[in-house]
């Protein structure tokens, strides 16, 4: 029977993710506005039972399609952060940091390495507030995110590579096609993949 490597019985696991850019090659700063992942940036969500659904304003982004930093309020409110990804995707968690990894799965390509010392002040403060409940903090730039998937496939048993690669693509589609493709890669094309990164941690 497959078992989770990291698990607290009876509790789910969530990711807290923020994104940074380094335009001058030295100083990291927060991406303060990103497409709302809850409504795919449209500002609308479907509501109601099948056959009687209607479009309503997305309450996560107040119907504007983006999430922004609201500096006038406390960071304690989850909605105040411009999270580029909020899904509860255990396969993605395993690939990014080994969190909720099955005991027969490969180790993550980049083991968790904590909050970066040169992270922007906003992220350091957000982590400080979560430190009691948060765990497994780490960060990956865009190149490393891509390699986390590519190199992983080279570590798998050969006969499982195609099947697992397909599952990775299908199960992580929201992150790969949303966060990576729509938010991070367009910026990376302008300033370089090493200058765009995600900083994240988890809580149970």
Q: pLDDT tens, 5-25?
A: 333 344 588 999 999 999 888
Tell which wins on pLDDT, 37 or 167: 167
pLDDT in tens, 78-137: 445 678 888 889 989 999 998 977 655 668 899 999 999 999 999 998 899 887 789 999
Q: What is the pTM of this model?
A: 0.79
Nearest partner of 37 among 1, 61, 56, judged by Cα: 61
Which of 29-43, 61-75, 145-159 is modeled with the greatest confidence?
Answer: 29-43
Query: Judging by beta carbons within 10 Å of its beta carbon (0-12, 13-18, 19+), is residue 19 exposed, middle or buried?
Result: buried
User: 202 — phi, psi (to 5°)?
Assistant: -130, 160
pLDDT in tens, 111-124: 999 999 999 999 99
Nearest partner of 58 among 47, 69, 43, judged by Cα: 43
CB 78 within 8 A of CB 8: no
Residue 73 has pLDDT above 50, yes or no: no
């Amino acid at each position: 029977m497959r078992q989770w490597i990291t698990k607290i019985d009876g509790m789910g696991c969530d990711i807290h993710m923020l994104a940074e850019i380094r335009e001058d090659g030295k100083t990291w700063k927060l991406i303060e506005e990103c497409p709302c992942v809850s409504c795919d940036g449209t500002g609308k969500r479907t509501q109601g039972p099948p056959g009687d659904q209607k479009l309503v304003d997305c309450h996560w982004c107040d119907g504007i399609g983006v999430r922004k930093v609201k500096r006038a309020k406390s960071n304690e409110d989850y909605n105040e952060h411009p999270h580029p990804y909020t899904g509860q995707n255990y396969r993605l968690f395993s690939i990014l940091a080994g969190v909720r990894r099955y005991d027969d799965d490969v180790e993550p390509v980049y083991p968790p390495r904590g909050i970066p010392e040169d992270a922007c002040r906003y992220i350091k403060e957000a982590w400080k507030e979560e430190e009691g409940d948060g765990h497994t903090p780490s960060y990956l730039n865009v190149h490393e995110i891509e390699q986390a998937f590519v190199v992983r496939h080279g570590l798998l048993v050969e006969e499982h590579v195609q099947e697992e690669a397909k599952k990775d693509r299908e199960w992580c589609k929201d992150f790969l096609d949303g966060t990576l493709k729509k938010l991070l890669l367009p910026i990376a094309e302008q300033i370089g993949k090493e200058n765009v990164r995600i900083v994240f941690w988890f809580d149970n």
